[in-house]
Amino acid sequence: MKLIALLALVTFLSGGVYFAMAADPSPAERRDSADSAFKKGNFKDAFSLYQELATSADDEAGKVPHDLTRAIQCLERLGRVDEIDDFREKVIAAHPHNWRLLETAAESYLGGNESFGFIIAGKFYRGNHRGGDGRQVYTIERDRIRALQLMQQALDDVEKDDNKADRGTFYFALADMLMNARYGGGAWQLQYLSDLSKLPDYEDGYPAYMYGGQNNGAPVNADGTPVYHTIPKSWKEAATDGQRWRWCLVQAAEMSPVDASRAQFIFASFLREQFGVQTMAQYGYGGRAFSGPSSDDDTKKNESGPFAVSTLGEDETIARLASGIKRFKLPAEFDFIHIFQTLSDNGKGVYAEDATNALASLFENRQQYDRAAEYWKQSIQKFGDPHSNKKQQLDQIIGNWASFEPMETEPAGNDAVAWLLFRNGKQVSFEAHEIDVPKLLGDIKAYIKSKPAQLDWQSVDVDNVGFRLVEKNELQYIKGKPVAQWSMELKPREKHFDRRVKVTIPVNKAGAYLIIAKMADGNITRIVLWHADTAIVKKTLDNGSYYFVADATTGQPIAKANVEYFGYQQQWTGNGQNYQINLKNFAENTDADGQVKLTKNQADANYRWLITATTDDGRFAYLGFTGIWGGQYYDAAYKQEKVYFITDRPVYRPGDTAKFKFWLGQAQYDQQGTSPFANKAFTVIVNNPKGEKVMEKTFTCDQFGGFDGEFPLPRDATLGQFQCMVQRAPNNFMGGGSFRVEEYKKPEFEVTVDAP
């Protein structure tokens, strides 16, 4: 042993090369080795090194968060998620006063690890588990509480740290954890104080508040006033999570002017989300300013609805609360408009710009468009507009703007009517261009007949003609010069409100028209007018389909109309070419009643069909592309078995005889002859209120599917509801009904009449 020790200390010379015992690698060298293994994807070796570093109390304080994070990533990549919890807690135990490590550990609980697992033999295993045994549970609330416990554990050490930038980051992180799933419909939970003294149990189901779901409005107090979250004196004196959240923002704001602006912006954004007028949209109000300005009828004396938002003062709001829509003043501390204005007036930094943009947006929601325009102008002037997004928003308010409202097909013969929504402009000019629909459909057919390797859906889209003409610029389908040109004088409303006006379109000939409206010094809007003289009605039949061709105005049938069916099918070939196109084409003439009936064999359900109807006198209509189905859709309901049950009385006394009758049949109103259940035997089972069988007897149906019977009730019959069921075979119940057994007597009453 002495010789071995001596040799280890003495340099040995051999062939001119010196050998010496290597020293143990330093923590920094081991971390470099771990990082290198991690980058190479050697996660097993990397985890071993990170684990050794992170669980050592001697690990460099500033590096422990890195070691923990990388180690967890290694376990995730190795599929060893069920080891994360034990490892993480060992690291926490080794560094109980390293607040940066505690913050990192807390974030890892909420940062994407599987929030579910399985309990097997009393032990929890996070993540998926092979074998299918164990009870699946969720850890969402448990993980949240554990994260808050760690952040609370770190608080004392955070307050002693001189690094204000890191401290500000910590307080914002703690605020985010408190607000986890507590925006919108989950805000009511901020009224309660999370118990951090113990971990909650695992949950058997996914927590309902994590689904989002319907927002029932901001929470209110018992007297109906909104719940506001005040600032407590300290973390320990907070009475609710909402107060804890406010305390965190106040602490963060003290770290730097930037943190102060961020904290104010977060607080104001939360208040706006809770109490802004946009919360009314969840009651069904939508569109620009909640549908108010689309007509002149928005001057109603309604102090708490969408028509009243333009009358709000800057310290007022109309919001959806848990108790309903309410108009109220905001206390100065919770006046989110004033907070945004303070940030905007500061004029510096990203939060000043965000606050200015938020003011522009919220004033638009309040229908106070002049104020919104002011803030968009301020934002452009102070902070620039490199992508012109703000200018587009501003132009939407102050520019001359118009838009057609959607319109349905109009019957030919009279001038058509459209509705135009506009703002600011004083004149608009119109043009009407006739569309060559037969040519468009012919080109689509020709494209399909060319059998391309892959069909372009836009090239076969016949439903959105306007898109083809406007967006794809397919002007070859416009017939020559405009068929009508005219203009209108407009009277815009003040303060950039919308006005809705009726536009008479001077065309009465049947066809399709592209209507173009040009606002003077404004935008251009377009709509397609369908002026129809002929209509095709389609209906599915049993094993076939039905078509009715009629006059679009009178509804009178059109006889001898040529109804053409053009169909295509994309069929996968699997031999290198993706698809092959199969085609079918045939035509039928309508009968004297304007009808065409197809059998299931005439029109293949695997094809898409374009259906056109034409007549010798120039009528034209089309339908498609559409499927033609001839399935037996109604057989299930038509042949549904029905069971009807009656008793001679609704309620019996113990000892009475319950008399009953059953009718069995099918839901076929046109059924001829005897019932399909005639002369067939069925078993009736009667169960008492305890579910015990008290009668089982077989009956045979008469020619109408009916039979009757009776059940003598014993003197000691159980009181309550008895079930009477009919079955075709054991455990094959068809239906039935019930009757009650009660101790009762008929009501007694006296009538006194005073004669004149």
**95 strand-pairing partners:** none
Query: What's the pLDDT band for 464 if we cut at 50, 70, 90?
Result: confident
Residue 38: what pLDDT? Answer: 95
Q: What's residue 469's pLDDT? A: 81
Query: Between helices 84-94 and 43-54, what is the axis angle to 10°?
Result: 30
Task: Look at residue 678 and give its three-state secondary structure.
Answer: coil
* Beta pairing, strands 651-652 & 732-741: parallel
- How confident is the model over 686-710, as a mean pLDDT? 94
pLDDT tens for residues 427-453?
999 999 999 999 999 999 999 999 888
Residue-wise pLDDT for 114-152, tens only, equals: 888 888 888 888 888 776 678 888 998 999 999 999 999
HSE of 203 in the Cβ direction (CA atoms, 13 Å)? 16
Confidence of residue 508 (pLDDT cuts 50, 70, 90): confident
Question: Are 359 and 378 contacting, i.e. CB atoms less than 8 angstroms apart?
Answer: no
**Six-digit token pair at 675?**
């019932």
pLDDT bucket at 662, cuts 50 / 70 / 90: very high
- What integer is the mean pLDDT of 450-470? 83
Residue 598: strand, helix, or coil:
strand
Q: What is the mean pLDDT of the chain?
A: 87
pLDDT bin (cut points 50, 70, 90) of residue 471 is confident
Residue whose structure tokens are 């046109």:
670
**CB of 625 within 8 A of CB of 716?**
no
Helix (H) and strand (E) counts in the chain: 17, 30
Q: Is the pLDDT of residue 514 over 80?
A: yes
What's the rounded Cα separation, in Å, for the pair 234 and 225? 25
Q: Is the pLDDT of residue 2 over 70?
A: no
Read off the pLDDT of each residue in 48-72 and give the average, rounded to a whole number.
Answer: 93
Q: Is omega for the bond preceding 660 within 30 degrees of 0, making it cis?
A: no
pLDDT, residue 729, reads 85
Q: Give me the mean pLDDT over the 37-50 stretch.
A: 95
**Contact predicate 468/477, CB 8 Å:** yes
Map residue 541 onto helix, strand or coil.
strand
Query: Rounded to two decimals, what is the model's pTM?
Result: 0.70
**Mean pLDDT of all residues in 281-307:** 51
pLDDT at 557 over 50: yes
Kindly tell me if the per-residue pLDDT of 207 is higher than 70. no
In this structure, what are the phi and psi dihedrals at residue 310, rounded to the nearest 5 degrees? Answer: -70, -15
Q: Are 317 and 305 in contact (CB under 8 A)?
A: no
Q: Given a cut of 50, is residue 5 above it in pLDDT?
A: no
Give residue 376's pLDDT band: very low, low, confident or very high (50, 70, 90). very high
pLDDT of residue 292: 44
State yes or no: pLDDT of 581 exceeds 50. yes
Taking residues 8-30, what's their average pLDDT?
56
| pLDDT computed for residue 115 by the predictor | 86
CA-to-CA dists, residue 52 to 35, 80, 504, angstroms? 14, 17, 82
How far is residue 516's CA from residue 651's CA, in Å, rounded to a whole number? 73
pLDDT of residue 121: 84
What secondary structure letter does DSSP report for 592? T
Tell me the pLDDT band of 208, cut-offs 50, 70 and 90: low
Please report the pLDDT score of residue 580 as a whole number: 85
- Structure tokens of 495? 């303060």
Q: Per-residue pLDDT averaged across 252-265, rounded?
A: 95
CB contact at 8 A, 463 and 608: no
Q: What is the pLDDT of residue 153?
A: 96
Of 285-294, 638-647, 710-719, the range with the highest mean pLDDT is 710-719
Percent of the chain with pLDDT over 90: 65
Does residue 170 sit in helix, strand or coil? helix
d(CA 199, CA 244): 19
pLDDT tens per residue across span 559-571: 999 999 999 988 8
> What integer is the mean pLDDT of 531-553?
90
pLDDT tens for each residue of 179-190 = 987 877 788 889
Helix (H, G, I), strand (E, B) or coil at 584: strand
CB of 260 closer than 8 Å to CB of 204: no
- Whether 339 and 268 have beta carbons less than 8 Å apart is answered as yes
Q: Tell me, what DSSP letter sits at residue 203? A: B
The reported pLDDT for the residue numbered 606 is: 86
Q: For the segment 353-374, what is each residue's pLDDT rounded down to a tens digit?
A: 999 999 999 999 999 999 999 9
Mean pLDDT across 727-742: 90
User: Which tens digit of pLDDT belongs to each residue from 589-629?
Assistant: 999 999 999 987 788 888 899 999 999 999 999 998 888 87
pLDDT at 224 over 80: yes
Provide the pLDDT confidence category of residue 214 given band limits of 50, 70 and 90. low
Q: Is the pLDDT of residue 754 over 70?
A: yes
For residues 651-690, one letter each, b for 16 or more C-beta atoms within 10 angstroms of the residue's C-beta and e for the rest, the string is: ebeeeeebebebbbbeeeeeeeeebebeeeebbbbbbbee
pLDDT band at 6 (very low <50, low <70, confident <90, very high): very low
What pLDDT score does 587 carry? 94
Q: Is the pLDDT of residue 458 over 60?
A: yes
393 contacts: CB under 8 Å, gap ≥ 6: 360, 376
Which amino acid appears at position 589 of this protein? N
